[in-house]
Amino acid sequence: MESEARDGLSFTTPLVLHDEKYNLCERKTEEVEANHYHSSKTGTTTFLKTCFNGLNALSVLFGSTGVGILSVPYALSEGGWLSLTLLLVFALGAFYTGLLMQRCMDVDSRIRTYPDIGERAFGNKGRMVVSIFMYLELYLVATGFLIIEGDNLHNLFPNTGFDVAGQRINGRQSFVLVVALIILPSVWLNNLSILSYISATGVIASIIIVGSILWIGAVDGVGFHGKGRLLNLTGVPTSVSLYAFCYCAHPVFPTLYTSMRNKKQFSKVLVFCFVICTISYALMAVLGYLMYGSNVQSQVTLNLPIEKLSSKVAIFTTLVNPITKYALMVTPIVTAIESSLSGYCNKRSISLLIRTMLLISTVIVALVVPFFGYLMSLVGAFLSVTASILLPCLCYLKISGTYERRSYELVIIIGIMLMGISVVIIGTYTSVVQIIRHL
């Protein structure tokens, strides 16, 4: 399929396609990856609906409420005011790689998911690498949900605890276990359509949280007196890693693209979504940093005065969303496991066991590594940058053949990749060191 001419936002010359024939493997995991992002079978979605879905992907699905937007004040406090420019730089880089993914899909109409792009570029190994990064990211985001619940509930009810087999469990750990029990029935469900509708309210939830934070600062007496630092070089790796996590929705882009009625408008959808989300992230970062300065915590809700009604609105909105989204996050992993073990997973009991063990494993990780900021920084530096920056660039270079000729496009892509590699190396090292120090 020849590459169509896109609207005025195409940055470079048309792709140079190879003549080799190829076959995309038809696997059950292909359906898993497509269903994970609620893919449409035909392109019937309007421009406005795709924009809404894109906003959900960026602000909710991965940089989700309580994971992305609530951590940006902490990211700004780590890097200082000048680090806010890195948010814009990363937004531009992630936007451009989103366009590269679109061009990869223009090559063949059979490409419908992110792993399809990896397979088109590098065969079965490419599909496997993309899938591993997708599933590992989902797993750690689900773990982050449990940490969010434990931290915020402990902030609301600091003296809560209970006894188990003669052992006293207090604080965050007790809430992580309680929330896991609440979530468990949703993990057992095969049909998550109800939860998917609740999860789709994430854009509204983000607006509520930002509005509540603004109200707390302007009306409830907290004020905006934090001066902060201009630049903190030692905190820049953590800062940029958390910024990267805010733009890790690239696995959903192919589904958004294939679902559109008019695919020529996809680049406009990207522009709209990235602009709105970047403004939202920047606004939340500035508000939180001005309110609490260098004392802002990894989740700004942990700084809020809990006696205020507006604080309770922000905190409870944060608490509800992870509970409804946990099952949506881990179901693709479960389905992939069940598909790979199809000969052994025909019984419902085996399926329930797999789902339960997956939940238990995330609980263990959340209890052992309860450092939300550092864990999400690790996810951003290693997984998000790889999936949102490096892999789209590599796949595009291989599919288009751009690497075989000199061009401005090649220079831009190499520059973006060098930035991504730097963040992966420095950010991952910094995050791992910080986690080890606090164990």
pLDDT digits (tens), the chain, 439 positions: 444 433 433 333 333 333 343 344 444 444 444 444 444 345 566 666 665 555 555 554 444 444 678 899 999 999 999 999 999 999 999 999 999 999 999 988 888 889 999 999 999 999 999 999 999 988 998 899 999 999 999 988 888 877 777 777 878 899 999 999 999 998 898 766 666 565 556 667 778 888 999 999 999 889 998 888 999 999 999 999 999 998 888 887 887 788 777 888 888 888 888 888 888 899 999 999 999 999 999 999 999 998 899 999 999 888 887 887 788 778 888 888 888 887 665 677 888 999 999 999 999 999 999 999 999 999 999 999 999 999 999 999 999 887 777 788 899 999 999 999 999 999 999 999 999 998 8
Output the pLDDT for position 41: 43
Q: What is the dihedral of CA 403, 405, 407, 412, to 10 degrees?
A: 10
The hierarchical CATH code for the domain 28-438 is 1.20.1740.10
d(C-alpha 415, C-alpha 320), whole Å:
40
pLDDT number for residue 63: 43
Model pLDDT, residue 416: 96
pLDDT at position 5, please? 39
| pLDDT (tens digit per residue) in 6-52 | 343 333 333 333 334 334 444 444 444 444 444 434 556 666 666 55
Name which of 203, 204, 149 is nearest 179 in CA terms. 149
